[in-house]
Amino acid sequence: MSTSEIATVLAWHDAVNSNDIDTLVQLSSDDIVLPTPDDDPDQGLDELREWATTAGVTLQPGRMFVHRGVVVVEETATWASDPGPREEAIAFRVVDDQVVTVVRHTDLAEAFEATGLSEADLYEE
């Protein structure tokens, strides 16, 4: 298990939460794939920049699970459009210290099913 994937995902969270677009772009691959509400994913750094400047989201990471470049994070997400906190899970694919894919899931069970990870992949410092 590599901690570099965890460090990348935590730095990505920090960049989103502080609206640090330059750092967010540096931590993301040129062809990053992002979820959209209509299930038709967006791709690329231009889409990432637009999402990061308009989403109005704060992500509070909780437990993290990691295996072979996939990191699943239990999240408390707060959106400007829906300010009540929402529990969800986000799956990240990290390659060469860059986030290449971000997939939102309604809960941890759904994220585990989609990624093949499990409680056994819990990251502990």
Mean pLDDT per 10-residue run, the chain (125 residues)?
A: 86 96 97 76 89 91 96 94 88 96 94 97 91
- Alpha helices (H) in the chain, listed in sequence order: 3-17, 21-26, 45-54, 108-115
The pLDDT value recorded for residue 36 is 66
Q: Supply the CATH number for residue 114's domain.
A: 3.10.450.50
Closest CA to 104 of 119, 118, 92, 122: 92
Task: Report how far apart, in Å, the C-alpha atoms of 51 and of each of 8, 12, 64, 112 are.
Answer: 19, 14, 23, 25
The pLDDT value recorded for residue 1 is 46
Domain interval for residue 42: 1-121
Phi, psi for residue 33 in degrees, rounded to 5: -110, 130
Total of domains in the chain: 1
- pTM of full prediction above 0.95: no
